[in-house]
């Protein structure tokens, strides 16, 4: 597939503004030129393509909808979503990098930080000169982060002492600053912990079959002492702090997953038209057409869902339960689209000559992180029945 166009069955492009189309087009060209030629090797080698960090900053991939006064682009949430779509068409690992940087590090500094913290961090995070990570999950607390054991205790002289272990932290090893969530005497609070602080380390986790072109780490905090003014995010208390960040990131993921699906759909469509079996292109067989019809239908429904969600987000009326529906549905259908594409490619579907198996394996992580498929199902269940069913 040449990937010159986004899959557009239902006039999706017509829903976009001129600026949104331009932003998407620039991102598409970047991904085609800079990501597709190198990404399979990075995935095979389990390395993140670090040289792309400043280029992605230049294109505004980090916190694009945050205001220009902090070095961001102040564009619409639909433009942000389109960027995530294009980036994940390259690889979910790259989109994860941008999601963490923009939604899980820049956004909480913007929404919960002091003016000095915002001025200090946001412009450098926007360009990619500094890298951030988000430490919420722990070895024993994944879907239930409210039970976290990491603890921060006030010390004399405006200091805090933090102890605990975080796990599965994207960008942890490479980050200059970690947003660490910890229990305190006033509930869960967020802290900015800088690389090199004594007692703080971030060993890389290896051995993943998914998101191989993304760095995943533990965060170990052993009697880490931080300064309250520089480190504590002053304007939020409680689990709503980290959950607010996750709502931002999940919004981008609901768009991004479709990018991976689009790549697999286009690849399968091309392949089906050119692969000959029983003297005919396999695209002429009803069983293969059924798969392609299902794939393009679900991709189209997903696009319309996130477009509406983006407009609601711009109007500041969107709810976390609406984001749950989009994340749950779009990641689920994206994974299924990739699986069907894999079958259409036959044996070639497992090779790294095609992007399909990489996307499929990546989406297994996306299905689980940022709230598992099941947890989002429970959010929607509670929304429509009024009855929580988590425990």
Considering only 39-47, 168-176, 258-266, 313-321, which stretch makes contact with ligand FAD by CB under 6 A?
A: 168-176
Kindly identify the residues of this chain, within the stretch 73-102, that bind ligand FAD according to CB under 6 A.
100
User: Between residues 50 and 159, which has the closer beta carbon with respect to ligand FAD?
Assistant: 50
Are 63 and 75 spatial neighbours (Cβ–Cβ below 8 Å)?
A: no
| 28 C-beta neighbours (distance < 10 Å), count | 22
Considering only 51-59, 163-171, 258-266, 297-305, which stretch makes contact with ligand FAD by CB under 6 A?
A: 163-171
* 382 touches ligand FAD by CB under 6 A: no
- Strand 200-201 relative to strand 187-194: parallel, antiparallel, unpaired? unpaired
Selected binder of ligand FAD within 13, 58, 129, 374 (CB under 6 A):
374
Q: Is 370 a catalytic residue?
A: yes
Count Cα atoms within 13 angstroms, Cβ side, for 109: 33
- Strand 132-135 relative to strand 177-184: parallel, antiparallel, unpaired? parallel
DSSP for 191-236 reads EEEETT-TTEE-PBP---SSSTTS-EEEEEEEEEEEEHHHHB-TT-
Selected binder of ligand FAD within 105, 162, 169, 233 (CB under 6 A):
169
Out of 20, 34, 86, 370, pick the active-site residue: 370
- Strand 159-170 relative to strand 151-155: parallel, antiparallel, unpaired? antiparallel
Residue 53 DSSP SS3: helix
* 136 touches ligand FAD by CB under 6 A: yes
Considering only 24-32, 35-43, 134-142, 310-318, which stretch makes contact with ligand FAD by CB under 6 A?
A: 134-142
* 143 touches ligand FAD by CB under 6 A: yes
Give the closest residue to 283 by CA, choosing from 270, 273, 297, 268: 273
Are 34 and 89 spatial neighbours (Cβ–Cβ below 8 Å)?
A: no
Considering only 152-160, 335-343, 344-352, 362-370, which stretch makes contact with ligand FAD by CB under 6 A?
A: 362-370
Query: What's the rounded Cα separation, in Å, for the pair 362 and 169?
Result: 16
User: Between residues 142 and 199, which has the closer beta carbon with respect to ligand FAD?
Assistant: 142
* 168 touches ligand FAD by CB under 6 A: yes
Are 166 and 138 spatial neighbours (Cβ–Cβ below 8 Å)?
A: yes
Are 161 and 224 spatial neighbours (Cβ–Cβ below 8 Å)?
A: yes
Q: How many residues bind ligand FAD (CB under 6 A)?
A: 20
* 211 touches ligand FAD by CB under 6 A: yes
Are 357 and 351 spatial neighbours (Cβ–Cβ below 8 Å)?
A: yes
User: Between residues 137 and 288, which has the closer beta carbon with respect to ligand FAD?
Assistant: 137
* 365 touches ligand FAD by CB under 6 A: yes
Helix residue ranges per DSSP H, the chain: 18-30, 39-45, 53-58, 77-90, 92-99, 107-112, 115-127, 228-231, 240-274, 286-314, 320-344, 356-368, 373-385
* 170 touches ligand FAD by CB under 6 A: yes
User: Between residues 67 and 146, which has the closer beta carbon with respect to ligand FAD?
Assistant: 146
* 390 touches ligand FAD by CB under 6 A: yes
Residue in the structure block whose two tokens are 């199902």: 377
User: Between residues 169 and 334, which has the closer beta carbon with respect to ligand FAD?
Assistant: 169
* 191 touches ligand FAD by CB under 6 A: no
User: Between residues 127 and 377, which has the closer beta carbon with respect to ligand FAD?
Assistant: 377
User: Between residues 25 and 364, which has the closer beta carbon with respect to ligand FAD?
Assistant: 364
Considering only 51-59, 287-295, 333-341, 370-378, which stretch makes contact with ligand FAD by CB under 6 A?
A: 370-378
* 369 touches ligand FAD by CB under 6 A: yes
Are 193 and 200 spatial neighbours (Cβ–Cβ below 8 Å)?
A: yes
The residues carrying an active-site annotation are 370
Q: Where on the chain is the footprint of ligand FAD (CB under 6 A)?
A: 100, 134-137, 142-143, 168-170, 211, 216, 365, 368-370, 372, 374-375, 390
């Amino acid at each position: 597939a040449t990937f010159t166009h986004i899959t557009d069955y239902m006039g999706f492009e017509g829903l976009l503004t001129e600026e949104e189309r331009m932003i998407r087009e620039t991102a598409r060209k970047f991904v085609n030129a800079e990501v597709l030629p190198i990404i399979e090797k990075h995935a095979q080698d389990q390395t993140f393509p670090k040289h792309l960090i400043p280029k992605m900053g230049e294109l505004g991939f980090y916190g694009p909808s945050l205001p220009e006064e902090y070095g961001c682009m102040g564009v619409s949430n639909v433009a942000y979503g389109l960027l995530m779509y294009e980036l994940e068409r390259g690889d979910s690992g790259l989109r994860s990098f941008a999601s963490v940087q923009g939604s899980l590090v820049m956004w909480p500094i913007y929404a919960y930080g002091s003016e000095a913290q915002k001025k200090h961090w946001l412009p450098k995070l926007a360009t990619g000169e500094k890298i951030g990570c988000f430490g919420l999950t722990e070895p024993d607390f994944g879907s239930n982060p409210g039970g976290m054991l990491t603890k921060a205790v006030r010390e004399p002289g405006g200091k805090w002492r933090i102890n605990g272990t975080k796990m599965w932290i994207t960008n942890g090893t490479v980050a200059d600053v970690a947003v660490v969530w910890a229990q305190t005497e006033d509930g869960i609070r967020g802290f900015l912990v800088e690389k090199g602080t004594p007692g703080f380390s971030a060993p890389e986790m290896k051995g993943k079959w998914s998101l191989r072109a993304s760095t995943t780490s533990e965060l170990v905090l052993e009697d880490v002492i931080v300064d309250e003014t520089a480190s504590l995010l002053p304007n939020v208390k409680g689990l709503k702090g980290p959950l607010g960040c996750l709502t931002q990131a999940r919004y981008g993921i609901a768009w991004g997953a479709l990018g991976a699906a689009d790549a697999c759909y286009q690849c399968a469509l091309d392949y089906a038209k050119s692969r000959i079996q029983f003297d005919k292109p396999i695209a002429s067989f009803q069983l293969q057409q059924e798969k392609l019809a299902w794939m393009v239908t679900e991709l189209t429904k997903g696009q319309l869902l996130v477009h509406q969600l983006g407009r609601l987000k711009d109007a500041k009326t969107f709810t976390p339960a609406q984001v749950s529906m989009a994340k749950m549905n779009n990641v689920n259908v994206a994974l299924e689209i990739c699986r069907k594409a894999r079958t259409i490619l036959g044996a070639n579907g497992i090779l790294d000559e095609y992007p399909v198996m990489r996307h499929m394996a990546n989406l297994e992580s996306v299905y689980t992180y940022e709230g598992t498929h099941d947890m989002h199902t429970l959010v929607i269940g509670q929304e429509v029945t009024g009855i929580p069913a988590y425990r």
